[in-house]
Structure 1
Amino acid sequence: MNSPHTHRRVALVTGAAGELGRAICTRLCRDGLDLVAVDLNLDAAQGLLRTLHLEPGQRALAIQADLGDESSIIAMVAQAGAAFGRIDVVVNNAAVNHRGSIYDFDVAQWDHMLAVNLRGPALLCQKVAPYWQAQASGRVINIVSRCWVAGGPPAYVACKAGLVGLTRSMARELAPHNVTVNAIAPGLLPSAFTLDGRDAESFQRMADSSIGDTPLKRLTTPEDIANTTSFLASSDAAFITAEVIHVCGGSQLAPFGTR
């Protein structure tokens, strides 16, 4: 760790193969960072790499990992560290969502969500922390959700609200190593993740309701989140930490269920 293999900064993005992860990876590569694209689906992550336009000398690596499994996280960080010698930016984007109300949630599904959505980011940052200590710098960007203030499916909202708390706690603990920790809270973003388990008609009703509650009158796009990630990963954001940036057109002002 004391002799980096490259002078480029290295970004590690989880959930890299989904629509949001792809946009984040594409933007960070465009910013000139080397990339570690982490996903449960290795083929999809490798497919992402084939779409990137890398500069001469710029590198990208796909790694399969399960964020709900500590040993998988340890192996992934070791592989990334061996390949690049440093890890500068961690984007905790991977998530799962088993929808259910407080009346009917499944305990195994609840535990799985907590493992991937909340414990996973904490463990990943724990394993990357020695790099930040050696480098005396780092960035953590946690992808949460507008629902952390608005409410919604209890298990998912609990995970995202917990990730906000983790953001603030890690910002304090990692600050002595010049590491900033921030969260981005997207609004409703059409993707395979948000469409999963919904038919087109029910999703359209939800989208219409979200647009109605959004002052800027549109849905969030992956590029909106990628642009904000780019800023938080940059030197321009060096004095910003423990913040939650809502990238949702103002819909954080609307209470849940008003429409």
Structure 2
Amino acid sequence: MDALVNNAGIEPAHSLEGMELGTWQATLDVNLTGPALMIKHCVPMWRRQGGGRVVSIGSRVWLGGGWTPAYSASKAGLVGLTRTACRELGPLGVTVNVVAPSFLHTAFNAQKAEAAFLDSYVGRFAEASPLGRLVEPVDVANAVAFLVSDRARNITGEVLHVAAGTQLAPAVQ
């Protein structure tokens, strides 16, 4: 196992007041507990082979975002897990990082935003970007490819924002 990419996630939209406990737990189970268990079960292999790479897909929303309290908390927890794991696994030669994209330019996300409640959501993300554009899936893939490569051998415990600069703007609501 040279590299583990934790890329499963769910993002239920709801207010904090309207959130149900089951939604909270399911989101934490998929977005935080799953990556923790994947890392845990790869450690024996990395110990035997003398190293490896972990990249978890986080989100710009770990900085806080509207209508996604469970998702935001789970992605913030993923950053904490990553920083703890990098200290514990570094002596084994394992690097552990997070790629934190913003809203991705996909047909699925555009439909989800329009169906939920924000017909201009996509446009507001592009406007919030200093680059004036949305993040494409290939941008995230390129960041992951870099972090699992030998070129990133001394990068660990980091959050790489692939967000077209939107992490610098207030949360898009």
Runs ≥4 in structure 1, deviation > 2 angstroms?
190-204
Q: Percent identity?
A: 45
* Structure-1 residue corresponding to 2:12: 98
Computing the radius of gyration over CA atoms, which structure comes out larger, 1 or 2? 1
RMSD over equivalenced CA pairs, Å = 1.8
Correspondence for 2:109 among 172, 194, 198: 194
Aligned match of 2:63? 149
Task: Check the 8 A contact 2:113/2:122 in 1, yes or no.
Answer: no
Alignment of 1:61-210 (within 5 A): 87-152=1-66, 153-191=68-106, 194-195=109-110, 197-199=112-114, 202=117, 204-210=119-125
Structure 2, unmatched stretches of 5+, are: none
> Residues of 1 paired with 2:113 and 2:95: CA distance?
37
Q: Which residue of 2 aligns with 1:211?
A: 126
CA distance in 2, matches of 1:150, 1:203: 18
How far 1:196 sits from its partner (Å)?
Answer: 6.4
CA deviation digits over 1:130-154, x for unaligned, max 9? 0000011100001001111142311
Of stretches 138-147 and 191-200 in structure 1, the one that deviates more from structure 2 is: 191-200
CA distance in 1, matches of 2:108, 2:8: 10
Paired residue type of 2:42: V
TM-score relative to the length of structure 1: 0.63
3-state SS of paired residue (1:229) = helix
Counterparts of 1:120 and 1:173, CA distance in 2:
18
Partner SS state of residue 18, structure 2: coil
Secondary structure (helix, strand or coil) at the match of 1:207 reads helix
Counterpart CA distance in 1 for 2:25 and 2:108 is: 19
TM-score normalized by structure 2?
Answer: 0.93
